[in-house]
Amino acid sequence: MSRPRAVVPDLRGMGLSSHPESGYEKTAQARDLIAILDVLGVSDFALVTHDIGNMVGYALAAQFPARVNKWVVMDAPLPGLGTWEQQLTNPKVWHFNFRGPDVERLIAGRERILLDRFYNELSANPAGIDEQTRQHYARLYARPHAIHDAFSGQFAAFATDATDNQPLFAKVGRLKMPILAIGGDHSYGAAMATEIASVAVDVRGG
């Protein structure tokens, strides 16, 4: 039996990917991923996503359902669907609207301070995020355009994503592929399966 092949791309503007000024709508990023898989000759696949990756994953699975054999989705809601509007009232998502030139000037050279706040205040076990990991992500977010693309790219597109997802869901209906929806015990927990069941038929929690 051959070993499974893993394809693990950084999303547009994230990590070591390029930093275009536009294209952060999750439907567009789903097409980015399909283009990568086409070049690699991958016709169908199991999809594994987390956080913003879930949003891109839904856009991919809804636009290209025949290519997704199964989907594992972890710990984030989908813009415009399920309990999205309720999630926007959570004070922990303040950063969704934290952007603009002055914000970027404020953060420049202080990326580690910003990221440490997330690690220290939002994680169940801050000590589990070691120094090497903290330094790694601070370096990535200190790269030119990285903070801009996170705030004014990925987060700023959420409103458009919500607008895109509603007619997309109305068109394709609930997804048919098997889905494993899981959440951390200090995060979404079992509610993740309920969240995804609003857009899919065959959902199992874990």
End-to-end CA distance of the chain: 27
**181 shares its domain with 114:** no
Q: Comparing C-alpha atoms, which of 156, 153, 160, 22 is closest to residue 80?
A: 160
**51 shares its domain with 8:** yes
CATH number at residue 190: 3.40.50.1820
**163 shares its domain with 150:** no
User: CA-CA distance, 63 to 61, in Å (whole number)?
Assistant: 6
The continuous run of DSSP H or E covering 46 comes out as strand 45-50
**146 shares its domain with 172:** no
Span 94-133, pLDDT tens digits:
999 999 999 999 999 999 999 999 999 999 999 999 999 9
**148 shares its domain with 131:** yes
Span 162-197, pLDDT tens digits:
999 999 999 999 999 999 999 999 899 999 999 999
**114 shares its domain with 195:** no
Q: Count of domains in the chain?
A: 2
Residue position matching structure tokens 């589990």? 128
User: CA-CA distance, 139 to 112, in Å (whole number)?
Assistant: 8
The pLDDT value recorded for residue 174 is 98
**27 shares its domain with 73:** yes
Q: Comparing C-alpha atoms, which of 17, 8, 87 is closest to residue 46?
A: 8
**136 shares its domain with 164:** no
